[in-house]
Amino acid sequence: MKAPYCLSDYSISELINLLITARAERARLEVGYPATLIVKSREIEIEGPAVTPEAIAELVRSVACTRQIRNLRKYGTIEAIYTFKGSRFLVRAVDAFGDCRLDLQPVVALIN
């Protein structure tokens, strides 16, 4: 069975467009595996190339400032808010102990 979602390469804008289209809660990229979307608490594989360390590094560089990139190298994790077409997204990157991954999810405002 063919995966319902497909990417030829990984860019923040393409991932966000896919998140919006699929109404996904989160996109998860982990080195060595295909990217996945979390939709209604189910993992759905995104058809495309396996995630590489270079792909994650490029995604991080596209959303993080120099200070955040230094913190990723020093502490092994960062969180950044990225604004795209008026919506905000949380980008969480981990690069520690051989574990290299990136999660992307919409930021939902809480109203009291």
Q: Is residue 112 part of a domain?
A: no
How would DSSP label each residue in 9-71? S--HHHHHHHHHHHT-SEEEEETTS--EEEETTEEEEEESPPP-HHHHHHHHHHH--HHHHHH
pTM tops 0.75, yes or no: yes
Those residues whose C-beta lies under 8 Å from the C-beta of residue 90, and which sit 6 or more positions away, are 79, 80, 81, 82, 103, 104, 105, 106, 107
**Domain count within the chain:** 1
Segment 21-76, tens digit of pLDDT: 999 999 999 999 999 999 999 999 998 888 988 889 899 999 999 999 999 999 99
Any idea what the CATH number is for the domain that residue 101 is in? 3.30.450.90
Q: Which domain holds residue 79?
A: 5-106
pLDDT band of residue 111 (cuts 50, 70, 90) is low
